[in-house]
Structure 1
Amino acid sequence: MVDLLDQVGIRLRAARKARGWTLDELAARASVSASTLSRLESGKRQATLELLVPLTRQLGIRVDDLLADEAPDPRVRRPAIRRDGMLIVPLAPEGSPIHTYKITYPPTKQCDELKVHEGYEWLYVLSGRLRLRLGEQDLVLTRGEAAEFDTRTPHAMSAAGGRPAQVISIFNETGMRMHTHSESEIG
């Protein structure tokens, strides 16, 4: 396990540089010598509250912001969603500000009816062919192609041809609800 104080200097330097301040500028603002600040940032000086409090006040951050957090498990372990023949696999953790999914559209004879809702979507075709009806456009995207659009434009998607289309889709919060919940859950 990483010692909580190991990253203080690195994070302190990053916070200072993010504000565009030199060592001398921050040192003067916090009434600390530039050499002390330099040693603190390089890890050659032990961090104390007496040193950190005036520095963090000037930087507009908390002392806790300088302490290393134990990195959470980055793996996403959420169940797949089956909806209207699609398989929707979450690729981001619950509560993530960006909603990312791998969606498999089954082969179908016809595209769903056009829908309009608040939101924004970006998609990337992993395999197969994706039919994207977007307003007056009727497009077929193939492996490696991407599209982005405002979901207030009437749209519908389905696999084109006789095999499934796998797509990575990224939505904002509103777009995510429309694609992963049933109509009764949304209303």
Structure 2
Amino acid sequence: MRIRSLRKARGWSLDNLAERAGISPSQLSRIETGHRRISLDQLSAISAALGKSLDELVESPDDSDVVIRPERDETRGLTTWLLTQDNGPQGLTVGKMRITEQAGGVTPDDLGVHPGRDWFTVLSGAIVLYLGERVIRVEAGQAASFATMTPHTLRSDQGPAEILMILDHNGERSHLQPGAGHRP
């Protein structure tokens, strides 16, 4: 959202814009910093006060709303592209993951559990899925789906591998958040 940059371009303080839009300066501050969701009536009032259309107010000032940049986690051997923003349909997250950490040497501490189900398809390379006591090789063009209360982790097999995954909220929190407890 471009509220702050448009306000500053006019040389207005928070108080100036807040008064023109009929909202409190503290509400406007929280809206600008992303600590408060903006209602449609507030958005309309701010838009009118700034003399901008709603489209102009919410358009991204750069390409961040179009280009999906990778998140690298060198310690876990992962690069992740989040393909959905703010939870996708039915609260699901879609992501692409490049896994470079090789199979082998997996300990029980590497395995994690969380409520729900995980699903992935291998786009390139091969993945070794450690699922409880089972070790399952999943190759390019194949997919896997499993209950995540079974201890699990993924590793690449003989070189980097890329997967497309669909995760519920618990899977996203466990696999994609920085410092997540267990590996993919």
1:79 to 69, 78, 101: 69
What's the CA shift for 1:182? Answer: 3.2
Q: Is contact 1:76–1:91 with CA below 8 Å preserved after alignment?
A: no
Note closer, same or farther for the CA distance 1:159–1:153 as it changes in structure 2 (3 Å cut): same
Q: Determine which of 81, 90, 100 is the counterpart of 2:82.
A: 90
Q: CA deviation at 1:109?
A: 4.9
Q: 1:152 to 1:109 in 2, by over 3 A?
A: closer
User: How many angstroms does 1:80 deviate by?
Assistant: 2.1
Q: Which structure has the larger Rg?
A: 1
Q: Name the SS of the counterpart of 2:98 in structure 1.
A: strand
* Letter paired with 1:132: L
Structure 1: gaps (5+ residues): 1-69
Q: Percent identity?
A: 28
Cα separation, partners in 2 of 1:111 and 1:99, compared to 1, 3 Å: farther
> Is 1:140–2:137 an aligned residue pair?
yes
- Match in the other structure for 2:100: 106
Count of residue pairs the alignment pairs up: 114
SS at match of 1:103: strand
TM-score, normalization: structure 1? 0.54
TM score, norm. by length of structure 2: 0.55
Q: Is the 8 A contact 2:103 2:155 kept in 1?
A: no
Contact 2:80 2:95 in 1 (8 A): yes
- 2:156 & 2:96 partners in 1: Cα distance? 14
Match for 2:162 among 142, 148, 166?
166
* 1:178 maps to 2:163: no
Distance 1:109 1:142 in 2: 14
Show the counterpart of 1:25: none
1:50-95 Cα offsets, whole Å, 9 max, x none, are: xxxxxxxxxxxxxxxxxxxx9x99x754432222120010111223
Q: Is residue 130 from structure 1 mapped to residue 127 from structure 2 by the alignment? A: yes
Secondary structure at the counterpart of residue 89 of structure 1: strand
